[in-house]
Amino acid sequence: MQRWKVNLAVLWFGNFMVMAGMTMITPFLSLYLQQDLGVKGEHDIGVWGSVIFSANFVTSFFFQPFWGKISDRYGRKMMLLRSGFGMSIVIVLMGFATAPWQLLLLRMANGVISGYSPAAVALISATTPKEKTGFAMGTLQSGATAGSILGPLIGGVMADTFGFRPIFYITGSLLFLASVLSWIMVKETFDRQAAAKKPQVGMLAGFGRLVRIPQLPALFSVTFLIQFAMLSPMAFIPLYVQQLHGTTVNLAFWSGLIGSVTGFSNMISAPLLGKLSDKIGSTRILIASLLGAGIMFIPQAFVTNVPQLLVCRFLLGCFVGGLIPSVNSLIRRYTPDGSESRAFGFNSSSLALGNMIGPVAGGALAGFIGIEGLFLVSAAFMLANSAWTYRTLLRPGKRAVRSQAEPKG
């Protein structure tokens, strides 16, 4: 097997385990707080649960650019191992927590040392042939998506089978295994001496250099707006399903299916759209995916039954599969050599910011515009995003081609 394919296969598994480990806690967090950590009262459980779950993303937002800077100097594989082994230890320690503040601190630590996914993206972008980059990015993204989908399901099954604390031990052990595989099987050609000779700049100065490249701030903003639009209505999907279903019979099943079907279609479409982007270009796939996702949000506000919503969410996932992989491919294209990991770190921070602000903004807006209004707001964000992407990325390239084709003199 070619080296880039070995790297891709191993990092797909690692990406899956990282995202599964981050989301596996979702189905039983409130029960873990109540039964094992002694939190009493619905209000206190809700507050602790929200803070603990979001703590991972808050610290990740601040530290991803720092790890990106270190990665550009010492290599992406080192960042993979640092994050993988570190997170495996922290997740195991979560199983020993005896108070909610301990679990909170460990979730914050998990966000601090996270960075496996952006390091994996940077390594794949550097080791994959250019003509295969879109396919590789889409495949890598499908691993993260699969982990996000199956993580809560696996967590729920293991909670019923083993109890709460063993889940952390099992998850940490599997992540440790993924890190060992990355250590043994992933290969990277990285010249540390050449990287050390390059002028070292601080994070703010490095960010300033990157944002002076007009395409990069546009791509960072696209990542934020994608997450914002996707997550702002997410918390209200079960309530919307209940409203459409009209009965409590099989309500949990339909809510779970609606919540996961977007991820399943995303997982299927990401490698296919990535492969297509290698033929027609990542910019065109990104614009088409933004348009398609924006259009597919609109009918969700007007469906009259659950099967209609299920079809809309499935089709939405087909377009969403082309978003993040295309953004990652374009970031690699426009980032100067030697700054790739830093650029992916800032993009990861944009993603974490969308993860934080999207649900909060959705909760604030829902009281004024309703669940249906959130779908229309998400559609507006996606459609505006596609116009901005066209203006920033595609139209300048067309102008450059036309100017080169014009006769001189």
Summarised one tens digit per residue, pLDDT across range 62-113 is 888 788 778 777 778 888 899 999 999 999 999 999 999 999 999 999 889 8
pLDDT of 235 > 90? The answer is: no
List the one residue out of 187, 160, 221, 246 whose CA is nearest residue 7: 187
pLDDT at 403: 43
**Dihedral angle computed from the Cα positions of residues 336, 342, 347 and 351, in that order, rounded to the nearest 10 degrees:** 170
Domains of the chain (ranges, CATH numbers): 1-183 (1.20.1250.20), 211-396 (1.20.1250.20)
Residues 6+ apart with CB under 8 A from 204: none
Q: SS3 for 106? A: helix
pLDDT at 404: 40
pLDDT at 401: 39
Distance CA 379, CA 397 (A): 26
Q: Which two tokens stand for residue 220?
A: 């960072």
Distance CA 239, CA 306 (A): 12
What is the identity of the amino acid at 233?
A: P
Q: Which two tokens stand for residue 200?
A: 């070292």
Distance CA 394, CA 207 (A): 23
Q: What average pLDDT does the segment 40-52 reach? A: 79
Mean pLDDT value across the chain: 82
Does the global pTM surpass 0.85? Answer: no
DSSP code, position 390? I
pLDDT of 263 > 90? The answer is: no
Q: SS3 for 218? A: helix
Distance CA 139, CA 274 (A): 8
- Residue 46's pLDDT band (boundaries 50, 70, 90)? confident
Residues 6+ apart with CB under 8 A from 226: 320, 323, 324, 327, 354, 382, 385
Q: SS3 for 248? A: coil
Q: SS3 for 350? A: helix
pLDDT of 398 > 60? The answer is: no
- What percent of the chain is predicted at pLDDT more than 70? 90
